[in-house]
Structure 1
Amino acid sequence: MPRKPRLFVPGVPQHVVQRGNNRQQTFFDESDFQLYLECLRLAGEEFGVSVHAYVLMTNHVHLLVTPDSVEALSRTMQSVGRQYVLRINRKYRRSGTLWEGRFRAGLVGSERYLLTCYRYIELNPVRAHMVVAPGEYPWSSYASNALGDFDDLIVPHDRYLSLAPTPERRQERYRELFSAAIPGGDLNLLRRATEQSAVAGTEDFQCRLAQKVGRDVSPRPPGRPVRK
């Protein structure tokens, strides 16, 4: 079945996955992680993309973002890809591509699935058995969202801000979310939506968005397994 065109709706959060070409390594030392984050911050500010959560793994990236316009996310990721690859190739005296042909992105309904997506992203190093707890991994937004560490890349989403009226209580409530496992059905829906450029959301949210964009936005039923 042909791949759906990517769906971009201004003001609706998106879960973005960018993978290394052939699953190859994309970050080689600490300065590379820092460079990617700086490229992302500058591009997001230029093109109008707010970053709510992220994790940089050794060969792929997960982001939770909200674009201000239809073109904002594509322009941001194109800019990050160009700037990061140019400087990495120069640094390591390499050539050619570093990332897969295009990033994957799926929309996330804020009423239920947004905070699940936050957790899904920041728990990636735990699922990969790289760390025992998300706070042990340095290249994610967990320290900002859960502990209050300053991160000039992060723009809190309204759903996150609604957890509590004060930053301290908000961070406490956020940490409490990590005490329970993410339901398997929610994980699978987020993954399918991202792979298929569809929507992870309630049926009501999917129907309202489908009417707005004039196309089916619900993920196809499970078939062959999607990648983690």
Structure 2
Amino acid sequence: MARQSRYNAPGYAQHIIQRGNNRQVCFFSDDDYRVYLARLKQYAQQHDVQVHAFVLMTNHVHLLITPQHENGISLLMQALGRFYVQYVNKTYGRTGTLWEGRYKATLVDNDYYALAVSRYIELNPVRALMVDHPAAYPWSSFHANALGKAIQLWQPHASYLALGSSEAERQQAYLNLFEQPFSDKALAEIRYASNKGWVLGSEHFKQQIAKQLSRPVSPRKTVQQDDD
């Protein structure tokens, strides 16, 4: 079966997942995380892509990003992936691939769903039982979104800006979201769309994108998947 092509819609956020090959480790030291984030910032600026949320896990990466032009995300991910593989191979005296094939990309509704995916991304270390709270994990955008830490590559999403009229109000409102557990339904919806590459959003949003891009945006019959 042919692979489904990615949705290309500038101005809409996308949830990106890139995993290590066979789920092998991709980050071996603190310097590796810093190098990856520095290059993410560089290539995001170069290709005019906004980074709203991220988490770097030991063997995979989640991003919530918005391209301003067609192919912005693919150009960003190609440049970043290529550089980081070369960096790891040179630094650790290894050869061969690092990433598991194509990165996964899911078009995300700019309203409620963008905040839900942002929270989903930043809760990854908690779900993985690495920390008790996202604030305890250093390699995520939670520190910018909820705590106001200056992270140069981060840019607030429109739905985040709508949380309040000041930085303090937005940070507190965002932090309050983490006091509410994800419902099983919401988790399943995000996971399924993310792993299958379907559009994530309201029915109205899906219809809008289907009409705009002239292609299906969801399967005929919903099947849920538990992969994180």
Matched residue, 1:112? 112
1:108–1:200 contact (8 Å) kept in structure 2: yes
TM-score normalised by L of structure 2: 0.96
How do 1:140-159 residues align onto structure 2 when only pairs under 5 Å count? 140-159=140-159
* Residue identity in the other structure for 1:25: V
Instruction: Report how far residue 198 of structure 1 moved.
Output: 1.4
Identical aligned pairs, as a percentage?
46
User: How far apart, CA to CA, are the structure 1 residues paired with 2:3 and 2:186?
Assistant: 22
Q: 1:130 to 1:51 in 2, by over 3 A?
A: same
2:102 matched residue in structure 1: 102
Offset at residue 8 of structure 1 (A): 1.8
Contact 1:13/1:64, CA 8 A, preserved across alignment: yes
Corresponding residue for residue 60 of structure 1: 60
Report the CA distance between 1:222 and its aligned residue: 4.4
**Mind listing any 5+ residue stretches in structure 1 that lack a counterpart?**
none
Contact 2:189 2:224 in 1 (8 A): no
Which secondary structure state, in structure 1, belongs to the residue aligned with residue 66 of structure 2?
A: strand
Alpha-carbon distance in structure 1 between the residues aligned to 2:50 and 2:160: 13
| Secondary structure in structure 2 of the residue aligned to 1:199 | coil
Once residues 61 and 219 of structure 1 are traced to their aligned partners in structure 2, the CA distance between those partners, rounded to angstroms, is 26
Q: Output the CA distance in 1 between the equivalents of 2:38 and 2:79.
A: 12
Q: How many residues align?
A: 228
Aligned to 2:173: 173
SS at structure 1 position matched to 2:15: strand
* 1:146-199 deviation digits (Å, cap 9, x = unpaired): 000000010101110010000011100000000001122222121222222211
> Where does the alignment leave 5 or more consecutive residues of structure 2 unmatched?
none
Aligned to 1:209: 209
Distance 1:16 1:220 in 2: 23
Aligned to 2:26: 26
**1:122 corresponds to which residue?**
122
2:87 maps to: 87
Match of 1:133 in 2: 133
Could you report, residue by residue, the CA deviation over 1:33-84 in whole angstroms, capped at 9, with x for unpaired residues?
A: 0011011111111111110000000000000000112210000000001111
- 1:100-127 CA distance string (max 9 Å, x none): 1110010110222111001100000000
Normalising by structure 1, what TM-score?
0.96
Kept after mapping to 1: 8 A contact 2:112/2:159: no
Spell out, residue by residue over 1:77-105, the C-alpha distance to the aligned partner (whole angstroms, 9 max, x if none).
00001111111110101011100111001
CA contact (8 A) 1:193 1:219 kept: no
Structure 1 match to 2:200: 200
Q: Flag the 1:138–1:42 CA change in 2: closer, same or farther, 3 A.
A: same
Matched-pair contact (CA < 8 Å) for 2:191–2:225: no
